[in-house]
Structure 1
Amino acid sequence: MNVPEQAYKVGIALRKTENGNKFLKLFQDVKDQLSEFAFSQFTDLINNTYNIGFGKHFYGLNIALHIFQQNKDNPIFKEIVKEMFENKALLDLATVSENLGNELELTCTKIMHDEIVRNFGSSTQMISKLKRSLQDTQVQIQRTGIIEWVQFNREIILKRNIIKEFEDNRSKLIFTEENRELIKEISNGSDEENFLKKFMVFSDLHLYIKQLIFEAFMGWVTEVDEKECVSIRVKKFDELALISFKTYNNLIQRDSFIVRFKLDNSYRFGIIKRGNIKFNYDSEYIISRYTAKLFPINDTDYFRKG
């Protein structure tokens, strides 16, 4: 059992809530009413983590709209910006999305602490399946030892300048080589380096949980089955599995996107870092190559190690 597995179930269950239903209906209305080009540009920007930022979840819709608003005089986007801001369903969707974002932030704050999660955000309405999924997520987070680690290091996290230096200079994306190199550069000794690595995992996991819940809710989590892969290479990488694989399936090309990988009869969650497409002129097929980092199947006691 692991944290992402439980968070995925939260996203699925969230669809059944009143706000979840309202969001999905409005999103479909927007898809039906906007031109294909405008809707495509809108969803592409929501999924652009370099411009939106990873872990922005439901907030990504309003961030995308703000970016379009800033480009209202750009000849390329002028017409679709006008189309978007004249669409009542889209403006209503922005409001519901902001509310869901606030509720998700509040819920994840509770999940990452000792406070028992009894509902989603401040809502009094709770579906039993959602409540169970939220509490299962919280229990698994507690099993990793992350809450103990944060409480033990609370004063250091709040006061230490090196944390601010890391946060100010880190990549917007998660589990990146750039962030690991940054830690090596700013650390003074192995103890400080190990502390920052744990802090990075804590910070990245928090972002990942929120984004995973959102993408599971939207049905946007990319599914990969090892049976569909031409080849797979796996190696350990600081408790994460670094995996390279080739497939005839051309997956969605995004900056960094969440993957649910069926490997050895188990589902592993992770993030695909990069991909490229290779044309095979001796074959009718196109082979796509990807690199991903996958969470461990069992993340119990992760923060209690070392």
Structure 2
Amino acid sequence: MTTILFISEWSDPDIWKKALEEVIPDLDFRVWPDVGDPDEVELALVWKAPLGFYSRFPNLRGIISLGAGVDHLFRDPGLPDDMPLARVVDPNLERMMSEFVLTCALYYHRDLDHFAAAQEEKVWAQTPAVRTSDRTIGILGAGELGGGAARVLKSQGFDVQVWSRRAKSFEGIRSYVEEDLETFLGGSEILVNLLPLTGATRRILNQQTLAKLPRGACVINVGRGAHVDETALLGLLDSGYLRGAFLDAFDTEPLPREHPFWSHPKVKVTPHVAAHTDPSTAAALVRDNLQRLRQGQPMRYSVTRFENG
């Protein structure tokens, strides 16, 4: 019997159970908090587990994050140092993220924010068209999701550049590394954040870095809310230095009703929907990683504590 414990307030456990049963015939699928005997739990599929969660399962072989982000795994000081960890890398996740980033980029590239404001004032206000080749989009983070988004944007003719810890090689896309951040930001008319959240990247979008963007730049955050200094972002929007912000992730989720982002004329809010893991395509990865754990091999798409700084 294969006992897998599932915990997520955002994902439907019934859909995951059905997908996993198709690839793991002897599945015993348990949903938190209905754990049963904790000694029987072999693998945990997790999104934002409560503190103290990991210490309850003495025979746990490994933990898989249900999303590309892994920062939530490290919130619990009880996480064993030697616990194998992995993230879900799902082709559908990359496709959805690339679609979302392209949609947000086109929103600003085609001046839809300008036309929405003009409609509010009942003003017929056309703007000159800009070729995609004359629009530079910078992507913070060049992993699976950032790299996928960069390629899709490039396929639409945009001038694309990426920034990451190590140099990347994407055809026709400029790559910058850590020490080049100021140069990278200075050329990004539309900035997309797809970084992992680590100690080094927390609040990376702050007063100093956001002010390095060209005047009139736009920010798209599809990473984590903690990447952004919200006060600094609001100040630069209010001053007119930044043109707009399309935000899908926030410090507090759900976003409190009283938060100024909801009503700010230069901010677009979406409820952390840029990309979701598809259980039907991710189930095979879960099965394969369980087999690897049983054979003493590292899981595919393993993560380590350095990713949290």
Structure-1-length-normalised TM-score: 0.31
Structure-2-length-normalised TM-score: 0.31
Q: Which has the higher contact order (CA 8 A, sep 6+)?
A: 1
